[in-house]
């Protein structure tokens, strides 16, 4: 029965949530099975990689490397946002493939927290680029502007702003009569406004604003680095270009599909075109999810000190495991070997 659920949900959306109507075939087993394969396996890989990478960043800051700078505070908050983001993926996948068994309150909390973590993660990446701009381009004023107090205040404002942007998601997501967690509206006006405002806000604040900040800041950083006579400048430029390139590759396709989907609400389209757009959104959204797996590598593990702390974590975990599995004398030898 669950094989038909996703098809049914695409065919008969909740009242007042669709501006176009078309008749679709009932049996589309190949499409549904492809969705199952895509959601289960690909999202499982994203969940595991994102969970491990961001957990390591949080553990490193919690036990090995204290937050001593503005960059540290931003990186820790990005890791928290990405970790909460990937933790919500299994529940979202379950809801997409089958039904929502946890009631309306959990539905609102899941989708609302998903939105909060999405906005906060993207805005914090913009904050990191601005912080690097101040540290490199405005180096003389960086000591005054890059304090821990400022960074904590900015992070608090980012999380608050992300929550305010997610209020419509908290409010309108509900447990529908089809036993799925989705947008639900009482009238057509609310449906029209919300289904345009929510993706438009996501495009503006969750993509274009961070992209504009990143391009502006990193362009100035690259110019400054190229003028400097430093043997490490080429490596720094490559890191900057990699950060921007990964951001564009991960998020640009999905936001193009999201923009097309938002505009198409006011246009009459065939069922085939609508289905193709939904497939494009699903695939590109998965590519966007990959960014939460790459953030730890691009922003944290690229640093030499952070990699050293990571090796200490591996060493301590190895010694802890040997202490309980192998005889104690072998554990001491292994730990002494790692400490050399």
Q: Which residues share a beta bridge with 182?
A: 174
Encoding tokens for residue 303? 């640093």
Length of the chain (residues): 340
What is the per-residue pLDDT for 108?
85
Give CA–CA dist 22/274, Å, rounded.
Answer: 9
Q: Using only the alpha carbons of the chain, give its radius of gyration.
A: 23
Residue 130 predicted with pLDDT over 50: yes
Asked if 71 contacts 128 with a C-beta cutoff of 8 angstroms, the reply is yes
Give CA–CA dist 186/205, Å, rounded.
Answer: 27
User: Stretch 253-282: mean pLDDT, rounded?
Assistant: 84
Confidence band, pLDDT 50/70/90 cuts, at residue 273: confident
What is the per-residue pLDDT for 254?
94
**Whole-model pTM over 0.85:** no
Residues in contact with 44: Cβ distance below 8 Å, sequence separation at least 6, in sequence order: none
What is the per-residue pLDDT for 247?
93
* Closest C-alpha to 190, from 202, 174, 204: 174
Asked if 260 contacts 277 with a C-beta cutoff of 8 angstroms, the reply is yes
Tokens 């591996």 sit on residue = 314
* Closest C-alpha to 297, from 231, 239, 252: 239
pLDDT in tens, 242-265: 889 999 999 999 999 999 988 887
Residue 188 predicted with pLDDT over 70: yes
What is the per-residue pLDDT for 119?
94
pLDDT in tens, 229-241: 766 667 778 888 8
């Amino acid at each position: 029965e669950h094989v038909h659920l996703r098809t049914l949900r695409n065919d008969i959306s909740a009242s007042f949530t669709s501006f176009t109507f078309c008749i679709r075939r009932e049996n589309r087993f190949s499409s549904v099975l492809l969705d199952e394969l895509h959601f289960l396996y690909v999202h499982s890989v994203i969940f595991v990689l994102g969970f491990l990478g961001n957990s390591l960043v949080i553990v490193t800051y919690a036990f090995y490397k204290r937050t001593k700078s503005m960059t540290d505070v931003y990186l820790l908050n990005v890791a928290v946002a990405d970790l909460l983001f990937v933790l919500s993926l299994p529940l979202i996948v379950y809801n997409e493939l089958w039904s929502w068994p946890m009631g309306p309150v959990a539905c609102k909390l899941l989708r609302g927290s998903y939105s909060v973590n999405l906005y906060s993660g993207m805005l914090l990446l913009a904050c990191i680029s601005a912080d690097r701009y101040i540290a490199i381009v405005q180096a003389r004023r960086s000591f005054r502007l890059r304090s821990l107090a400022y960074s904590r205040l900015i992070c608090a404002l980012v999380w608050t702003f992300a929550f305010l942007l997610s209020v419509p998601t908290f409010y309108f997501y509900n447990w529908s009569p089809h036993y799925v967690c989705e947008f639900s509206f009482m009238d057509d006006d609310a449906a029209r406004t919300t289904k345009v405002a929510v993706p438009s806000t996501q495009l503006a604040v969750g993509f274009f604003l961070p992209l504009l900040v990143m391009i502006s800041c990193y362009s100035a950083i690259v110019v400054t680095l190229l003028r400097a006579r430093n043997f490490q400048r080429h490596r720094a430029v490559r890191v900057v270009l990699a950060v921007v390139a990964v951001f564009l590759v991960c998020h640009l396709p999905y936001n193009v599909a999201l923009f097309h989907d938002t505009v198409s609400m006011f246009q009459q389209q065939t069922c085939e075109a609508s289905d193709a757009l939904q497939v494009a959104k699903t695939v590109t959204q998965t590519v966007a999810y990959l960014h939460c797996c790459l953030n730890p590598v691009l922003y944290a593990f690229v640093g030499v000190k952070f990699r050293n702390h990571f090796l200490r974590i591996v060493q301590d975990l190895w010694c802890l495991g040997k202490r309980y599995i192998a005889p104690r004398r072998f554990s001491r030898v292994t730990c002494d070997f790692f400490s050399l």
